[in-house]
Amino acid sequence: MSKENDFAGSLQSFTERLLTHRLKRRLRNKRKQQKRNALVDWLMAILWAACVVLIINQYVFQNYQIPSESMVDTLRIGDMIFVDKFSFGPELLPGVVKLPGVSRPKRGQIIVFENPSYISKGPVFTVAQQMIYMLTLTLVDIDRDQNGEQRVHYLIKRAVGTGGDTIRIQQGEVFIRPEGMRDFVPEKDLMKALGLPCHATRMVAATEYEGIEAVGIASAYQEAGLPVPAGIGSPEIATAYKDAFGYDMKRVNVLSDMRPSDYRIASTARRYNQGWYIPGDRVFPMGDNRDNSRDGRYFGPVDQSRVLGRALFKYWPPSRIGGIR
């Protein structure tokens, strides 16, 4: 009986060890499976959140960070805003086919549009760059030039002129002739008549244009290989940067008088003096900070199909939270 008992005891002990080992193995496998499921769940949650961010940014509201002082004091460098992309029609994919919108840019609205001087690196790069930019809420932008400087893909300005307008600039002041009117009207007067606020600010005084235009005259004579008139003196070249457009307008007009047969110069002078006519499908953008803005004065009216959206709301920094007008 003792041998039988020993055998039975050994068999029971072996069976218990075997079952315990199998149970432990099952428990380990179950815990591993649970860990794997948790990881997958986290990945799925992150992926879902990323998709939601991308969809909202691409088709409804997009984050945008102000890169320059061209819209001071309405918008300042570093302000982070939401841009309404739905109203004017979002792009199907970044840089690809624009969908129809429910409205068009109106006079006085602040719009974000593709920089006319921007040279694309191709649709694949554009899609990747915009996705990273949107997913990181504007914190990461891989669109850099060969020197590592950020390339400016989009600009933010105010829609000063709309379809049918003719716009003329004189010593930094804007004059508009709306469709159907005979005379040009100062921008401030037109905005007041339409019940719209005028946010344009100037840093250059009218008395400073004598110096600015003197630099333009001197530059024209030097470019033509002629001695600068004695009455001009030796104006400071830095003065021209107070209003680069005003300087260039004077330079081009003087060169046009000197070289009436130069078609390129004559064409530029004519545009400067007569102004820009804005076709119905375009808009003329300008910065509120008129003396520190590269805008429609340099690249002309912008096709509405290039308008990304309308600035809607400032959400950062906290002290700047509020609507945008």
**Tens-place pLDDT, residues 216-237:** 999 999 999 999 988 887 788 8
Residues 84 and 197 in one domain: yes
Say yes or no to pLDDT of 302 above 60: yes
Residues 33 and 126 in one domain: no
Residue 262's CB: how many other CB atoms inside 10 A?
13
Residues 6+ apart with CB under 8 A from 98: 89, 90, 91, 92, 305
- Percent of the chain past pLDDT 70, that is, above it, reads 90
Structural domain count, the chain:
3
Residues 188 and 298 in one domain: yes
**Global confidence as pTM:** 0.83
| CATH number of the domain residue 91 falls in | 2.10.109.10
**Chosen domain end from 59, 77, 98:** 59
CB of 255 closer than 8 Å to CB of 245: no
Say yes or no to pLDDT of 187 above 70: yes
Q: Which residue did the predictor score with more confidence, 303 or 130?
A: 303
**Chosen domain end from 239, 261, 277:** 277
Residue for token pair 């994919």: 93
CB of 295 closer than 8 Å to CB of 70: yes
Closest CA to 262 of 224, 300, 216, 213: 224
Residues 119 and 194 in one domain: yes
Phi first, then psi, for residue 226 (nearest 5°) are -115, 155
Q: Are strands 173-177 and 166-170 parallel, antiparallel or unpaired?
A: antiparallel
Look at residue 16 in the predicted model and tell me its pLDDT.
58
Say yes or no to pLDDT of 36 above 70: no
Helix (H) or strand (E) holding 91: strand 91-93
Look at residue 68 in the predicted model and tell me its pLDDT.
92
**Chosen domain end from 59, 85, 102:** 59
Is 140 exposed, middle or buried (CB count within 10 Å of its CB: 0-12, 13-18, 19+)? exposed
Residues 87 and 188 in one domain: yes
* Residue 268 per-residue DSSP state: H
Average pLDDT estimate for 39-53: 83
Tens digits of per-residue pLDDT, 128-186? 888 888 888 788 899 998 888 889 999 999 999 999 999 999 999 999 999 999 999 99
Distance between start and end Cα atoms, the chain: 100
CB of 109 closer than 8 Å to CB of 84: no
Closest CA to 289 of 67, 64, 76, 73: 73
Rounded Cα distance, 3 and 178, in Å: 115
CA torsion, ordered 6, 12, 17, 18, to nearest 10 deg: 120
Domain interval for residue 106: 63-202+285-323
Residues 78 and 198 in one domain: yes
Residue 210's CB: how many other CB atoms inside 10 A?
10
DSSP H helices in 237-308: 244-258, 263-274, 296-299
Residues 127 and 239 in one domain: no
Q: Looking at the DSSP assignment, which residues form a beta bridge with residue 170? A: 173
Residues 98 and 233 in one domain: no
CB of 70 closer than 8 Å to CB of 293: yes
Look at residue 34 in the predicted model and tell me its pLDDT.
60
Helix (H) or strand (E) holding 310: strand 307-316
Look at residue 9 in the predicted model and tell me its pLDDT.
58
Residues 252 and 227 in one domain: yes
